[in-house]
Amino acid sequence: MQQTSVPGIALVTGASRGIGRAIAEALAAEGYRLYLTCKNSEKDLTHLSHQLSEIHHVECTPILADMGDVQSVNRLFSQIEDLTLLVNNAGISHIGLLHEMSPDAWQNLMNVNLNALFYSCRLAVPMMLKRHAGKIINISSVWGNVGASMEVAYSASKGGVNAFTKALAKELAPSGIQVNAIACGVIDTQMNHNFSEEEMEALRSEIPADRIGQPQEVASLLLSLLHAPSYLTGQIITLDGGWT
């Protein structure tokens, strides 16, 4: 395989909107060769890929993939020959009382939010081991740090993401591969549009920064991690305006 002249080759999951889209845009601006996935929004993902290719002159491949399904992830990686950066961003939420949540809903959330990291990392890591370098960045949540009422399953999945990040970082550090996570607070994404204006205002009033975060700020922090010293690994970096 010919050596690439771009900064790297990145896979961003859940890239059709919100945080994933902002990360894809930031990486394209840096010159990364991109693989972008989403589960359902094929039109949006394809449009974004074409847009990034035209604006930033980078190669960008959109792929429909259910990151919570192992066979779907296997098919995704069959199209990827090399990878230097994996961004595990795809995720779903569930708000409601735990005793009213169905086992199917619990399992689906765990598949997408936590099992997907195993499915993707087990295939990405061998590519990185070959070059004794690489970076894995997982998008987590402050609820993985402290837990949230009415979001027990989501909190548990993100707590798992945090533990997964710390453990894998220790495993891969001798091989020069960094693994970190960004624990997001309230970010202005479609996931949070389920809340009413009153509920969002109540959340905003609790945040010392006195505002909701933007997806571009998550992307900016991710770029900082890409340029961080190699000694920085196994960290859960909180981005929440001082909220928690």
pLDDT number for residue 5: 64
Taking alpha carbons only, the member of 184, 111, 110, 92 closest to residue 145 is: 184
The CATH number of 9-239 is 3.40.50.720
For the chain (244 residues), the mean pLDDT of every run of 10, in chain order, is 69 98 98 98 97 98 98 98 98 97 98 98 98 98 97 98 98 98 95 84 94 98 97 98 95
- Mean pLDDT score of the chain, rounded to an integer? 96
Which tokens sit at 74?
């296997």
Q: Return the domain boundaries, the chain.
A: 9-239
Specify the pLDDT at position 68. 98
The tens digit of pLDDT for each residue in 53-109 reads 999 999 999 999 999 999 999 999 999 999 999 999 999 999 999 999 999 999 999
Give the strand pairing for 60-64 and 177-184: unpaired
**Pick from 128, 156, 122: which is nearest to 140 by CA?**
156
Residues recognised as catalytic: 154
In Å, how far are 9, 127, 132, 157 from 4, measured between CA atoms?
A: 9, 14, 16, 36
CA distances to 59, 138, 207, 219 from 204, rounded to whole Å, are 39, 25, 5, 21
Computed on alpha carbons and rounded to an integer, the radius of gyration of the chain in Å comes to 17
Q: What's the pLDDT at 192?
A: 80
Q: Cα separations (Å) of 79 from 11, 35, 83? A: 11, 9, 11
pTM for the structure as a whole = 0.95
Place of tokens 């993939």: 65
